[in-house]
Chains A and B, each alone.
Chain A
Amino acid sequence: MSAHVEALHDHHGPPEANQSSRVDSRTLGMLMFIGSEIMLFGSFFAAYFFVRVVNPSASPEWPPEPYHFPVFVAGVNTAILVTSSFTMHWALQSIKRGERAGFLAGMVLTFVMGLAFLLTQVVEYLNVGFNTGDGAFASVFFGLTGLHGAHVAVGLSLLLMVIIRGFRGHFTPEHHHGVELPGIYWHFVDVMWIVVYATVYLL
């Protein structure tokens, strides 16, 4: 016991952080960030529902004639993004088991599929046949899908950092928090896309 007291007295640097919450502070930070993201997306969905449901002059057709959303292309894009979540999960499971090759392959595949999603969305924008000035529906469409696209871009940056660190050998079965948190974010981005795709394109 006296050794412990001596250790306390001999301790240099700032005192150990006093953490009231039992949630890991890094995970708590990611949770709070995702909470703010949900509110951000919520505000865009509020605009969407206003334009489509509440607005008394809203067209019964969605999107209003003569416009069409590229449902099939977006569906393929959805499949790509959902698959990237599976590879992300595989990558994390691999590093937890110490399988470095599986981890790196999973991360690279996730990044490539995320990039494919983003590039497909850019191509979709160029060929969709309407622009933001063509009505409130177009503003909402570009706003919601663009907001999501921006999140995919941020997610890709995080994935790229994980890949670079992964090739440098920064992650081990014991230390892989730097993979876990981008993984949570990536799945969140996928969840939001499922909601966006279902509400904007399909319903």
Chain B
Amino acid sequence: MESPFRSEAAAFRFLLITIGAFALIVVASTIDPALGFLVFLVLAGAAVAIYLRQRGPAPDREHVEHVGAPDERRILVVANETVGGQELMSVISIRALEWKSEFFVVCPALNSRLKTWTSDEDPARAKAQARLGATLERLASVGIEARGEIGDGDPLVAIEDAVRAFHPDEIVVSTHPEGRSNWLVRGVPDAVRARYDVPVTHVVVDLEAEAEAAAEPADDA
């Protein structure tokens, strides 16, 4: 949604529209106050509809500059509930074997919109911190050194913050499978691909399937 006051030119255009709209309302009210109110309602409805339908221009694709040694690869891993998933661990292990890699794990502090507006995000950050800590420990146990941080609740903002600080050569986005992933509904992997000129790998982690697979040997026993 674009603000009518995003620039001087836009504000000037908005002023002209306001003049026209209020001229219509005043003229209609002069004829009949009820007509004036009707015109006001119609114009207000039209304004809200146009405002909601507006889409800002797509942001330019951002170039992420490589920093560090030429043979080193910096990999940004973005995941929250799926951060400890087997599939994601496999991808990280493969990258660690393929390249001299540096990993940076970001766990967005996922919070519901209701909680964001009515409460604080401390519980969401605490959960994300616990997952992040466990994952970094697990990576360290297999010899992969990684750093990490808690990110913004919006995964795209969290990625943007991390990209500016870390300058990744590849971004790995881990999500739940289709149908269970809010990030897929929002098109996060595609949005990241569209925004940055580095390779983006989308890893699907099915935690339920992993839990079932892990439970099977116990059941058999």
Complex contacts, B11 vs chain A, CB 8 Å: 183-184, 187-188, 191
| Most chain A CB neighbours (cut-off 10 Å) among B11, B14, B22 | B11
B126-166 interface mask toward A, CB cutoff 8 Å, 1 = contact, 0 = none? 00000000000000000000000000100001001100110
Expressed in whole angstroms, the Cα–Cα distance for A202 and B23 within the complex equals: 10
B55-83 interface mask toward A, CB cutoff 8 Å, 1 = contact, 0 = none? 00001000001111010000000000000
> Of all chain A residues, which has the CB nearest B195?
A22
Total chain A interface residues with beta-carbon distance under 8 A: 31
Expressed in whole angstroms, the Cα–Cα distance for A1 and B164 within the complex equals: 16
Expressed in whole angstroms, the Cα–Cα distance for A19 and B36 within the complex equals: 45
Indicate if the CB atoms of A190 and B164 lie closer than 8 Å.
Answer: no
B194 interface residue (CB < 8 Å to A): no
Indicate if the CB atoms of B70 and A1 lie closer than 8 Å.
Answer: yes
Pair count A-B, CB < 8 A? 76
Question: Which positions in B face A, CB cutoff 8 Å?
Answer: 3, 5-9, 11-12, 14-15, 18-19, 22, 25-26, 29, 36, 59, 65-68, 70, 152, 157, 160-161, 164-165
Contacts A/B (CB < 8 Å), 27 sampled = A4-B67, A5-B67, A8-B67, A20-B161, A30-B5, A34-B5, A82-B19, A85-B12, A85-B15, A89-B12, A92-B8, A179-B8, A180-B7, A180-B8, A183-B8, A183-B11, A187-B5, A187-B12, A187-B15, A190-B15, A191-B11, A191-B15, A194-B18, A194-B22, A198-B22, A198-B25, A202-B29
